[in-house]
Amino acid sequence: MNLNSGSKMRSIKIGIQAPDFILEDCYGKPVSLTGLRGKKVILYFFTSPGGGN
């Protein structure tokens, strides 16, 4: 997932619609943010130790 627009990171503010993205759930099934429209969603982004390398 990349929310970068060119070389500048886009800032997402409270109350502004988040950009759509698709990630796999723990079963490998794709889940999109727009597919969850109308539901309460908590997004938790994290990195593994070492920056995911």
- pLDDT tens digits, residue range 9-51? 567 788 888 788 898 988 999 999 899 988 998 878 777 777 6
Are 36 and 42 spatial neighbours (Cβ–Cβ below 8 Å)? no
Is 11 part of any domain? Answer: no
d(CA 51, CA 38): 33
Do the domain assignments include residue 12?
A: no
Q: What total number of domains does the chain contain? A: 1
- Does residue 10 sit within a domain? no
Q: Give the Cα separation of 25 and 40 in Å (integer).
A: 17
What is the pLDDT, as a whole number, of residue 10?
66
Which domain, by its residues, includes 27?
A: 23-47
Domain assignment present for residue 38? The answer is yes
Residue 3 lies in a domain: no
Residue 5 has pLDDT above 50, yes or no: no
- Coil/strand/helix, residue 10: coil
Domain-located, residue 18: no
